[in-house]
Amino acid sequence: MSDRVKIGITINGAPHEGEAPARMLLVDYIRDVVGLKGTRYGCDTSNCGSCTIVMDGKSAKSCTFLAVQAHGRELTTIEGLAEGSELHPLQAAFQEAHALQCGFCTSGMVMSAHALLSQNSDPSPDEIREGIIGNLCRCTGYVPVIEAVQLAARRLDPKGGNP
């Protein structure tokens, strides 16, 4: 029993060992202990989804986990998508469809879409909407985001994809 805990995670493919107060939220751990600032939050009620990451293959709001709950798990954050200087096809589709403006919600939006596409390579527009209701965006009106996810789906899985 302790108010400090040891945490070992794999983040974007690399192991990371650290220690934190038990009460520390995963998002703060990612930002302030691991040092990856691309994951952010914009609310305190688990609504905005800006903090979304992929954990053990599923999307997760990193503000709605204690850091210690991630112990032993595999995490992917926005920094883990692109390889080298090449954007991931999903990121490229976001740029092409103008699916971001101020960009504050974008990390979480992209990670939600990433998790969605890993489970459903050919989502319909309604399935995309349903997949991103946990991500609030004030700039885009979501329409370009839906278009970007469709575009990425076509590129990632040329056989499927909605026209």
* Residue 150 near residue 128, CB atoms below 8 Å: yes
At which residue do the structure tokens 């589709």 appear? 93
CB of 60 to other proteins, least distance (A): 6
Return the H-helix or E-strand segment holding 10: strand 4-11
- Quick one: 17 exposed, middle or buried, by C-beta within 10 A (0-12, 13-18, 19+)? exposed
CB of 85 to other proteins, least distance (A): 9
Q: Which is nearer to other proteins, 91 or 154 (CB)?
A: 91
d(CA 98, CA 145): 8
* Residue 26 near residue 33, CB atoms below 8 Å: no
CB of 24 to other proteins, least distance (A): 7
Q: Which is nearer to other proteins, 73 or 161 (CB)?
A: 73
Q: Which is nearer to other proteins, 43 or 157 (CB)?
A: 43
Strands 58-61 and 52-55: antiparallel
CB of 47 to other proteins, least distance (A): 4
Q: Which is nearer to other proteins, 21 or 161 (CB)?
A: 21
